[in-house]
């Protein structure tokens, strides 16, 4: 799939800081629930990540991802 330059310019990419991590026990695969702070304009949003091994250890609270 290709997108036009106009479509690309409408993409909103943000950097957030992980402020809370907890095990996502309801998930089928090993996962974490993340609370991510995107600043005053957007606030804190919830997301999840399936991470195991070195990737799981790389997720840290108060680190910008």
β-bridge pairing 44-49 and 17-23: unpaired
DSSP classification of residue 30:
S
pLDDT digits (tens, 9 = 90+) for 2-32: 889 999 999 999 899 999 988 888 988 888 8
Residue 65 pLDDT exceeds 60: no
pLDDT digits (tens, 9 = 90+) for 40-64: 999 999 999 887 777 776 777 666 6
- Domain residue limits, the chain: 15-58
- Predicted pLDDT of residue 40: 96
- Predicted pLDDT of residue 61: 67
- Predicted pLDDT of residue 38: 95
């Amino acid at each position: 799939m290709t997108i036009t330059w106009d479509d690309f310019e409408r993409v909103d990419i943000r950097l957030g800081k992980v402020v809370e991590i907890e095990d996502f026990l309801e998930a089928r695969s090993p996962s974490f629930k993340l609370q991510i702070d995107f600043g005053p304009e957007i606030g804190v949003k919830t997301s999840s990540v399936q991470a195991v091994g070195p990737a799981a250890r790389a997720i840290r609270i108060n680190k910008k991802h």
